């Protein structure tokens, strides 16, 4: 296939996602229904509102503190969110760099929030002083786009910004619903399995 852009999800693709650790950390903060609040793919309630950009991180902290019945700091909340990201496979980073060397345009396409991105888009990301922009050309994140996957608006926004057609794009995600939505716009897809190696499948798709 002739590709002009490869899109990568964040949790469950670039990093191995650990929902149980995030649930544990939010429960420790005092959130009694953390198990119900935290979804592997799409957040709900004010968690979803944060990732859709409907509320700010400060507004999120106010609501979280009210539920926990104690003041929760920004850093405490960040630590809880980062429970999702407990492992960053080197093979994934190596592939991203290889694609850049091949002059293939790459971008992040993630439902996420400012707490997570404060790590992802910082020099702490890979443990070597590099943030995600060292590995990808562009970042498309839900809280800035004001829309969440699997909404078609999420993908239409990217196609419009990039000035390309769906059939010129490959999208890797670990959510069947997100992959299905992308397919409706003619986007080529790979359904990744959280924690498993998807890099060879990507390379096979571009050869």
Report the catalytic residues: 9
| DSSP code string of 67-116 | HHTS---HHHHHHHHGGGEEE--HHHHHHHHHHHHTT--EEEEE---HHH
Tell me how far apart the alpha carbons of residues 172 and 192 are, in angstroms, rounded to a whole number. Answer: 6
Closest to 117 (Cα-Cα) out of 167, 51, 58:
51
* 187 touches 171 (CB < 8 A): yes
* 41 touches 177 (CB < 8 A): yes
Strand partners, 173: 191
Of the CA atoms within 13 Å of residue 108, those in its CB half-sphere come to: 27
Report the chain's C-alpha Rg in angstroms.
17
Q: Is 49 helix (H, G, I), strand (E, B) or coil?
A: helix
Question: Can you read off the two tokens belonging to residue 123?
Answer: 């020099």
Helix 176-183 / helix 152-162 crossing angle, nearest 10 deg = 50
């Amino acid at each position: 296939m002739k590709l002009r852009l490869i899109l990568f999800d964040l949790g469950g693709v670039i990093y191995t996602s650990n929902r149980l650790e995030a649930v544990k950390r939010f429960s420790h903060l005092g959130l009694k229904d953390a198990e119900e609040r935290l979804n592997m793919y799409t957040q709900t309630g004010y968690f979803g509102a944060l990732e859709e950009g409907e509320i700010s991180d400060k507004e999120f902290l106010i609501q979280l503190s009210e539920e926990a019945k104690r003041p929760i700091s920004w850093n405490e909340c960040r630590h809880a969110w980062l429970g999702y990201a407990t492992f960053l496979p080197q093979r994934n980073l190596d592939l991203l760099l290889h694609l850049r060397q091949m002059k293939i345009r790459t971008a992040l396409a993630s439902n996420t929030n400012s707490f997570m991105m404060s790590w992802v888009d910082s020099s702490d990301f890979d443990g070597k002083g590099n943030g995600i922009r060292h590995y990808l050309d562009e970042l498309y994140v839900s809280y800035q786009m004001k829309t969440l996957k699997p909404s078609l608006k999420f993908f239409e926004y990217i196609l419009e910004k990039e000035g390309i057609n769906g059939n010129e794009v490959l999208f890797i995600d670990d959510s069947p619903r997100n992959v299905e939505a992308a397919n409706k716009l003619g986007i080529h897809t790979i359904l990744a399995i959280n924690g498993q190696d998807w890099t060879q499948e990507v390379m096979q798709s571009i050869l």
